[in-house]
Structures are given as C-alpha cells and as structure tokens.
Amino acid sequence: MGREIDEVKYEVAIATRILAATGLATGVTAGLGHVSMRVPNQPDKFVVKGRGYEIDSLGEMQYYDMIVCDLEGYKIDGPARSTQCSEVKIHACILRERPDVMSVVHVHPRNVVLMTVLEETLVPMCQEGADLVRTPLPLYPHTKTVWSEEEGMELVRTLGDAKAVLMQGHGATMTGRSPSDAVISMLQLEEQARMNRWAVAAKGSDHKRISDAYLDEATNRPRQDEYPHFKELMRRIGGNPPRNGVWNSYRKQVSADMVKP
Ligand SMILES: [Zn+2]
C-alpha cells in the first residue's frame, strides 16, 4: 500500500498503545477503543485498529496489525484474518462528514461513562481540558455500540461541529487535528469527568465550577514570550517552547518493542 500508509499505520499503532499506557483502555476495557488517522495524501482512506488478533490488547499493537479502510468503513488492506474494528462506522462517518477532522478516538473511559449514566453535565473543574466542557458537550442517547451506517450518521448529527460527543453508558468520541491532539484531548476529558465525579460526590449536582470570568482571564492574556522576563530568551531560542513533550514521553515509553516500517 506504500510507504506513506505504513508510516500512518505506525503513528496509529503508537497512539493506540498510548490509550493503554494512559489508562484510557486498561483492565476490562484493555481491548476496547481505537484511534483512526486520515491518510494525508489519500484523504478518502483512514487507518484504524482491527479485530480478530490472537492477542487483542491496545498495548500490543504493531503497525502491521492496522487496517486501512475507505470512508464507508470497508476494509481495503490489513492482516488477512483481521476485520475492521466493530465500531468502524464511528470513524468512517465522522471522517467522511467532517473534512476538517484528521483523527478520531473512541474509548470507554470509566469516569466519563459514569457521569453520562448519572446524567451529570460535565463542567470545568480544572485547567486541563476546561475548554472542552465549558459549553456542555452533546450526548448521544444510546448505550449500544455503533455498528450501522444509520447509527454512525446519528452520532455525526449529534456531534455536529463540536470537538467531542459523549455516549450514554458507553464512552466518548473525540475528534482532532492529529492522533496526539485527539488522544490528549480525550485524556483531558476523562480528567474533567473525574474531577466532576468528586465534586458531585462531595457537594451534589449543584456544585461550584470554574467561572467563565476566570476562564476568560486565563485565556485572554498576552503570549508567554511577550512578558519581559521571557521575551529576550524566547526570541533567541525561537519562540515558545514546543508543547508536545508529554506526547513524546509516552511515545518513547510505548515504542520500545515496536517494529518500524
Ligand atoms: Zn465503544
């Protein structure tokens, strides 16, 4: 299928392993969840984890385990004995209907699931991911897995132009500009859900949240390299430092035994 697709498969395998490494898919959910990535130069194709491996755990994936699909969710390449993931329509329908999306992550994070069953609206409770929940996220009102085109399209309509959609008693689906954007955003969403759960347990449904005024204050401010004590140094080293260090750390952790294409 070509060098580019093998590189995309490797990136998807890394992101899939990071779901396990960060606890988004462990224990009872060790085999559940998937990351997809649109192939940059073939935008009508995407790569995602499949089903039917002898060892089926997100933390074990290699690039050659990955499945290439078209935007209808049909398998067009991958190991002979593997199928696409059962919820491939989540990825196919979103990537087809949202050309702005490059990557989709679907997992069953425990705190997110719990809060959807309790019908508690997630609100900003810490900095990390506050923007994700500042406006209530859309909720797909079903617990069943997304198998059909109709179910996939209902999920897409519920998502609308939001970044993520919650799925009642099931999980969440996150969109992103890249696998790292989508996975890190999913981690932040799960952290907000954990903080919301503690708040509900301590204070009930009408607990306090970070106010819009404080969120605005945190957002509407100069860039860090505009402050006098950073300005000269950051100009010399070429602007604000890169923000992908955490991703690179997980990447290093999970890739030690990975085969490169
Ligand atoms: Zn699911």
Q: Identify whether the C-beta of residue 48 lies closer than 8 Å to the C-beta of residue 123.
A: no
Is the pLDDT assigned to residue 2 strictly greater than 90?
no
In angstroms, what is the span from residue 212 Cα to ligand 1's centroid? 32
In angstroms, what is the span from residue 160 Cα to ligand 1's centroid? 19
In angstroms, what is the span from residue 145 Cα to ligand 1's centroid? 5
Is the pLDDT assigned to residue 87 strictly greater than 90?
yes
Q: Identify whether the C-beta of residue 124 lies closer than 8 Å to the C-beta of residue 184.
A: no
In angstroms, what is the span from residue 211 Cα to ligand 1's centroid? 32
In angstroms, what is the span from residue 141 Cα to ligand 1's centroid? 13
Task: Count Cβ atoms within 10 A of the Cβ of residue 21 and give its class: 0-12 exposed, 13-18 middle, 19 or more buried.
Answer: middle
Average pLDDT rounded to a whole number, residues 60-85:
96
Closest CA to 76 of 92, 61, 59, 93: 92
pLDDT, tens digit, for every residue of 229-260?
999 998 898 877 777 899 999 999 999 999 99
In this prediction, residue 33 carries a pLDDT of 93
In angstroms, what is the span from residue 220 Cα to ligand 1's centroid? 37
Closest CA to 137 of 112, 108, 101: 112
In angstroms, what is the span from residue 235 Cα to ligand 1's centroid? 46
In angstroms, what is the span from residue 223 Cα to ligand 1's centroid? 39
Task: Count Cβ atoms within 10 A of the Cβ of residue 238 and give its class: 0-12 exposed, 13-18 middle, 19 or more buried.
Answer: exposed
Average pLDDT rounded to a whole number, residues 37-44:
96
Average pLDDT, the chain: 95
Torsion of CA 160, 36, 166, 135, to 10 degrees: -50
For residue 86 the two structure tokens come to 């059962």
pLDDT, tens digit, for every residue of 141-193?
999 999 999 999 999 999 999 999 999 999 999 999 999 999 999 999 999 99
In this prediction, residue 243 carries a pLDDT of 79
Q: Identify whether the C-beta of residue 53 lies closer than 8 Å to the C-beta of residue 16.
A: no
In angstroms, what is the span from residue 232 Cα to ligand 1's centroid? 49
Residues near 194 by beta carbon (within 8 Å), at least 6 away in sequence = 111
Cα separation, 236 vs 244, in Å, equals 20
In angstroms, what is the span from residue 107 Cα to ligand 1's centroid? 6
In angstroms, what is the span from residue 17 Cα to ligand 1's centroid? 17
Q: Kindly report the CA angle at 29 between 246 and 205, in degrees rounded to 5? A: 80
> Is residue 5 within a helix (H) or strand (E), and if so which, with residue range?
helix 3-21
Q: State percent of the chain over pLDDT 70.
A: 100
In angstroms, what is the span from residue 86 Cα to ligand 1's centroid? 9
Q: Identify whether the C-beta of residue 151 lies closer than 8 Å to the C-beta of residue 144.
A: yes
Is the pLDDT assigned to residue 1 strictly greater than 80?
no
Cα separation, 84 vs 176, in Å, equals 21
Is the pLDDT assigned to residue 201 strictly greater than 70?
yes
In angstroms, what is the span from residue 213 Cα to ligand 1's centroid? 36
| Confidence grade of residue 216 (pLDDT, cut at 50, 70, 90) | very high
Beta bridge partners of residue 93, listed in sequence order = none
In angstroms, what is the span from residue 87 Cα to ligand 1's centroid? 7
Domains of the chain: residue spans and CATH? 3-255 (3.40.225.10)
- The full DSSP string for 84-136 is E-TTHHHHHHHHHH-TT--EEEEE--HHHHHHHHTTPPP---SSTTHHHHHSP
